[in-house]
Homo-oligomer: A and B are copies of this chain.
Amino acid sequence: MGDVLYETSTERDFVYFPVSGIVSILEMLQDGSSSEIALIGSEGMVGISVVLGGGHQPNRAVVQSAGTAYRVPAPALYEAFHRGGVLMDAILLYIQALYTQVAQMAVCNRHHNLQQQLSRWLLLSLDRMDTNEIALTQELIAGILGVRREGITRAARVLQDQHIIEYRRGCITVVDRQRLEEVCCECYKVVRNEAERLSSRTRTRGPTN
């Protein structure tokens, strides 16, 4: 956990297909601050710039929750992608889902408050895990979201007082997921619905269409 898979502007030698765990994509600023722009779990891949052809990207990929992943050498995936067919179609659809996630982050960052954003982040994380426990300190969560630690403390407190989450040092447990969705902004559902819509396209389309 905390491993950096990709550093800003270094070549992507491998592409990762997570089986479990979560990878955070963080956009970095010169002053050291950052914001998460996407969460990637088993539904996706880390390293789209390999198939897009750009070689690298100005962001950082960090393991947020430990897990396993297939690690494919970049040239191999590049070749496979360019042979077309189902793999290419699936990856292209995933890129659209990722794009939607990043776009929604941008609006969410502007219009919604910290508590809503924390809720959104918890839900997106939960969808990519097999437990309802998130083992990160508030300090780390703050770093991921690009806010201060105290802000997370206060937002988490409110959620706990409402019996939606419970937490102790370094671990948040979601105890009422439904209410969490209710207090969350719409951004979570936009991202999730679009991801579902797109992934169902993969399943329902044959290799030639």
User: Which residues of A line the B interface, CB within 8 A?
Assistant: 25, 27, 29-30, 33-35, 37, 48-49, 51-55, 57-59, 82, 84, 89, 92-93, 95-100, 102-107, 109-111, 146-147, 186, 190, 194, 197-198, 201
Beyond A52-B96, A99-B102, list 16 extra A-B contacts (CB 8 Å). A29-B111, A35-B106, A48-B96, A51-B92, A52-B92, A52-B93, A53-B93, A53-B198, A54-B194, A54-B198, A57-B194, A58-B194, A59-B103, A82-B84, A102-B102, A107-B146
Q: Which residues of the other chain, B, contact A54 by a CB distance below 8 angstroms? A: 93, 96-97, 194, 197-198, 201
CB contact between A102 and one of B29, B33, B106, B197 (< 8 Å): that residue: B106
Is B53 a contact partner of A111 (Cβ separation < 8 A)? no
Q: Which residues of the other chain, B, contact A198 by a CB distance below 8 angstroms? A: 53-54
Is A53 a contact partner of B92 (Cβ separation < 8 A)? yes
Q: Which residues of the other chain, B, contact A106 by a CB distance below 8 angstroms? A: 27, 35, 37, 102, 105-106, 109
Shortest Cβ distance from residue A165 to the other chain B in the assembled complex, whole angstroms: 23
